[in-house]
């Protein structure tokens, strides 16, 4: 039976993957899934194209380089953060809202631990104005809340830097590898305390078990309260 429908050719055909037509959101979501599953070292245009069922060249419309793809992972994480915040009930009190943002960021980062190092390396590599819009909206949200809390421009900028440094630093430490041998049943050997000179590092050896357990969201909130007290007192 004859038909007037012509097959897709050229760029449009190359954009149709295994799961339908590509979009930036689909490409970044697949990249995030791949990195969550296999780590950053597994990410390449060729591998991502294989995940989506397209040639690697088809992806360059959505990420012009490997660095752009890494920036896209940061974007995808912050988009997920926005969606989480939008789905939750907010609060009209500025300090409580900062706590809500911090906790949501903490939760999203723990869901995507392989991406967390990029929050430092790619943020530092990309000028402010060129960061993904989802990241800039997060910055705007925090700054607006600090101004709402009565901080003037200078103090709100200092508070913003402190808030960001505490939040991302806390998450990075929380995700840091503290256990030397997870299969070792003896706690001291599991932590590798035998590798630490007791005469030189007595306090660190003593603190190692607590460090290995992590501070959790309670530690995040306690530190944030101390930080905000410093700027509002």
Domain ranges (residues) in the chain: 16-64, 75-178+214-232
Exposure string of 16-34, with b = 16+ CB inside 10 Å and e = fewer, is ebeeeebeeeebbbbbbeb
Q: What is the mean pLDDT of the chain?
A: 89
Q: What pTM value is reported for the model?
A: 0.85
- Report the share of the chain in percent with pLDDT over 70: 91
CATH superfamily of 75-178+214-232: Tetracycline Repressor, domain 2 (1.10.357.10)
Assess whether pLDDT exceeds 70 at residue 16. no
Res. 134: pLDDT tops 80: yes
- The b/e string for 69-101 (b: 16+ C-beta within 10 A; e otherwise) is bbbbbbbbbbbbbbebbeeeeeeeebbebbbbb
- With cut-offs at 50, 70 and 90, classify the pLDDT of residue 2: very low
Domain 16-64 bears CATH identifier 3.40.640.10 = no
Query: Same fold for the domain at 16-64 and the one at 75-178+214-232?
Result: no
For the ranges 60-64, 122-126, 130-134, which has the lowest average pLDDT?
122-126
- pLDDT at residue 18, rounded to an integer: 52
């Amino acid at each position: 039976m004859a038909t007037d429908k012509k097959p897709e050719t050229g760029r449009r055909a190359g954009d149709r993957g295994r799961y339908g037509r590509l979009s930036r959101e689909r490409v970044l979501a697949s990249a995030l899934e791949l990195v969550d599953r296999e780590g950053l070292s597994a990410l390449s245009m060729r591998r991502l194209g294989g995940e989506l069922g397209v040639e690697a060249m088809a992806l360059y419309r959505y990420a012009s380089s490997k660095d752009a793809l890494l920036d896209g992972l940061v974007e995808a994480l912050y988009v997920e953060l926005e969606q989480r915040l939008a789905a939750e009930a907010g609060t009209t009190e500025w300090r409580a809202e900062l706590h809500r943002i911090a906790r949501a960021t903490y939760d999203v980062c723990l869901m995507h631990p392989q991406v967390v190092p990029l929050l430092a390396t790619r943020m530092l590599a990309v000028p402010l104005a060129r960061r993904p819009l989802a990241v800039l909206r997060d910055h705007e949200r925090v700054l607006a809340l600090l101004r709402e809390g009565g901080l003037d421009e200078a103090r709100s900028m200092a508070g913003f830097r402190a808030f960001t440094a505490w939040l991302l630093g806390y998450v990075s430490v929380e995700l840091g590898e503290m256990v030397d041998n997870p299969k070792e049943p003896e706690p001291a050997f599991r932590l590798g305390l035998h590798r630490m000179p007791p005469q030189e590092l007595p306090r660190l050896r003593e603190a190692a078990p607590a460090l290995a357990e992590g501070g959790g969201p309670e530690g995040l909130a306690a530190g944030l309260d101390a930080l905000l007290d410093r700027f509002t007192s």
